[in-house]
Amino acid sequence: MSSSYLWVKALHIVFVASWFAGLFYLPRIFVNLAMVAPDSHAERERLLLMARKLDRFATGLMVIALASGLWLWLGVGIGLGGPGNGWMHAKLTLVLGVLAFHHVNHRILGGFERSANRRTHTWFRVYNEVSVLLFAAIVVLVVVKPF
């Protein structure tokens, strides 16, 4: 393996982990937003500001994580073909799920900005666990490569 491959792989891991940190925390902010009293404008605005900044930052991390992952995948010629690459198909399917989760977070934030949220803080607590399950599944696929 070339030195550049190892550097890009290391950066990919850092940016994926950082992106997931944002995906773990943004739904937690949604929990707090869902619990804000209707007359607590300052608290609501502070949480919305935090959520907007985190959403923008996580989107930047996502772009770098995807670009580096694509470079690793195409640059090395791993591809999807051949025996033993079933784990890669599964991983890419989960990555699509993570992208969908990221998009849904962005839409939920827009709902909070428009004061259109109809979900409870309990719903957001359960929703928050989706990111943990996606992260765990991807790590297992990458490390164990079960198929």
What does the pLDDT look like over 18-29, one tens digit per residue? 999 999 999 999
What percentage of the chain carries pLDDT values higher than 90?
81
Annotation-wise, does 12 bind a ligand? yes
Examine the pLDDT at 119 and tell me if it is beyond 80. Answer: yes
pTM, 2 dp: 0.91
Find the domain containing 120 and state its range.
Answer: 3-144
Q: What pLDDT does residue 12 have?
A: 96
Place of tokens 């399950």: 133
How many Cα atoms are found within 13 Å in the side-chain-facing hemisphere of 87? 13
- The structural domain count of the chain equals 1
Report the Cα–Cα distance between both ends of the chain, in Å, rounded.
23
Mean pLDDT, range 104-131, rounded to an integer: 96
